[in-house]
């Protein structure tokens, strides 16, 4: 078990490397990865189940301890990224399916990798975990509604069908994971250390499958999509940070808000695109998955190396001791 835990830890720490490596492999050797495509929804369900196993009631404490920060981050998540996606799709005059794909990933909740990035960036990890959990639980309602509002200009959107898809592949697995953790806490805590390995394998498989079934589309539109995805992610990170600063959150919270806004659940975006639109609509999510696992670690490393002032201890009257 210890060996498996070490492998899991290594996989989690080198997550970005595996995403990039297998994205390249699947592009040049698509035949070895296309078989995964029919199982993407199942893979995402397993990832979400693993997320549920790691959640406990304490992860939602920040919602009550710092409701302002949680509310700001969740609202920013579902306002900044969708509007940025709509603006970029319009400005760059993207083809309809690509435009919908960009908007779809923008309307998804934050990704689980954001929690790790926030920790490495010396941000407020508890806030990050709470925001990811809350935004994910809101996704069945907000993701279809926002996609319908913003993407129907390009293609017809069935918000009801998307709602059912998200409930099945996100909400049900997460709730099941939380319930199992409550019922079998000791057994779950013994195995939770290997969950990063499961998540890495699942996310890498999803990204690889999407790339594999879209090699021709990536050759044709890849450079444009890549430029839009990079702008989308970088602007999201920057605006999240600026918003936190303007609203006078402390630096640790600013970092958490920035990363939560900028890093999306691109696996969910890929799954919904394949199920409700077309393979090319999943390309922005696949590229987003690769790119934000480059930008996230780079930003986290830069922030993590910065020296932050430590507040001196205070007595019960609030005065510096």
DSSP H helical ranges for the chain: 2-13, 15-28, 40-54, 61-65, 67-91, 96-106, 113-120, 125-151, 159-166, 172-183, 185-191, 195-212, 215-246, 251-262, 266-276, 283-305
pLDDT at 319: 44
Answer whether 208's CB lies under 8 Å from 19's CB: no
Q: Which tokens sit at 118?
A: 């926030």
pLDDT score at 287: 86
C-alpha 153/C-alpha 176 separation (Å) is 36
List, as one string, the DSSP characters of 225-240.
Answer: HHHHHHHHHHHHHHHH
Residue 87 is predicted with a pLDDT of 95
pLDDT at 308: 54
Please give the mean pLDDT across all residues of the chain.
83
Report pLDDT for 316: 41
Contact indicator for 198, 50 with CB cutoff of 8 Å: yes
Residues 6 or more apart whose CB falls under 8 angstroms from that of 114 comprise 128, 132, 259, 260, 263, 296
Q: Which residue has the tokens 């920013």?
A: 76
* Chunked mean pLDDT (size 10), the chain, 321 residues: 71 74 87 85 82 72 76 93 95 93 92 77 83 89 94 90 89 85 78 74 81 80 87 94 91 91 86 87 86 81 66 42 36
Asked if 131 and 264 touch (Cβ cutoff 8 Å), the reply is: no
Q: What are the backbone angles phi and psi of residue 131, rounded to the nearest 5°?
A: -65, -40
Q: What is the pLDDT of residue 318?
A: 43
pLDDT digits (tens, 9 = 90+) for 174-204: 888 888 888 887 777 777 777 777 777 887 8
Would you give the DSSP letter of residue 307?
-
pLDDT tens digit sequence for 128-156? 888 888 898 899 999 999 999 999 999 88
DSSP string for residues in 164-218: HHHIIIIIHHHHHHHHHHHHSHHHHHHHGGGHHHHHHHHHHHHHHHHHHTTHHHH
Under CATH, what is the fold of the domain 2-305? Na+/H+ antiporter like fold (1.20.1530)
Q: Tell me the CA distances in angstroms from 262 to 109, 147, 232, 272, 309, one per residue in order.
A: 10, 18, 8, 19, 25
């Amino acid at each position: 078990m210890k060996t498996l835990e070490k492998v899991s830890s290594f996989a989690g720490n080198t997550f970005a490397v595996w995403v990039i490596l297998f994205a390249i492999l699947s592009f040049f050797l698509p035949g070895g990865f296309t078989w995964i495509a029919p199982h993407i929804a199942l893979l995402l369900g397993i990832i979400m189940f693993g997320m549920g196993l790691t959640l406990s009631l304490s992860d939602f404490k920040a919602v009550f301890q710092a409701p302002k920060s949680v509310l700001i981050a969740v609202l920013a998540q579902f306002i900044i990224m969708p509007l940025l996606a709509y603006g970029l799709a319009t400005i760059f005059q993207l083809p309809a399916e690509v435009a919908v794909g960009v908007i779809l990933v923008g309307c998804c909740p934050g990704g689980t990798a954001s929690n790790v990035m926030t920790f490495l960036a010396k941000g407020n990890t508890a806030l990050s975990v709470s925001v990811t959990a809350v935004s994910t639980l809101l996704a069945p309602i907000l993701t279809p509604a926002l996609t319908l509002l913003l993407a129907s200009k390009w293609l017809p959107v069935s918000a009801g069908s998307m709602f059912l898809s998200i409930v099945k592949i996100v909400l049900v697995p997460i709730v099941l994971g939380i319930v199992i953790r409550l019922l079998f806490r000791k057994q779950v805590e013994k195995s939770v250390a290997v969950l990063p390995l499961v998540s890495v394998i699942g996310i890498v498989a999803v990204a690889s499958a999407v790339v594999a079934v879209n090699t021709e589309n990536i050759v044709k539109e890849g450079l444009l999509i890549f430029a839009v995805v990079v702008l989308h992610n970088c602007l999201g990170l920057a605006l999240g940070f600026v918003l936190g600063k303007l609203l006078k959150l402390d630096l640790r919270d600013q970092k958490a808000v920035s990363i939560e806004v900028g890093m999306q659940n691109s696996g969910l975006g890929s799954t919904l695109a394949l199920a409700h639109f077309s393979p090319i609509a999943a390309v922005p999510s696949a590229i987003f998955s690769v790119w934000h696992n480059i930008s996230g670690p780079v930003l986290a490393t830069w922030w993590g190396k910065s020296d932050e002032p430590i507040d001196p201890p205070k007595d019960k009257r609030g005065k510096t001791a």
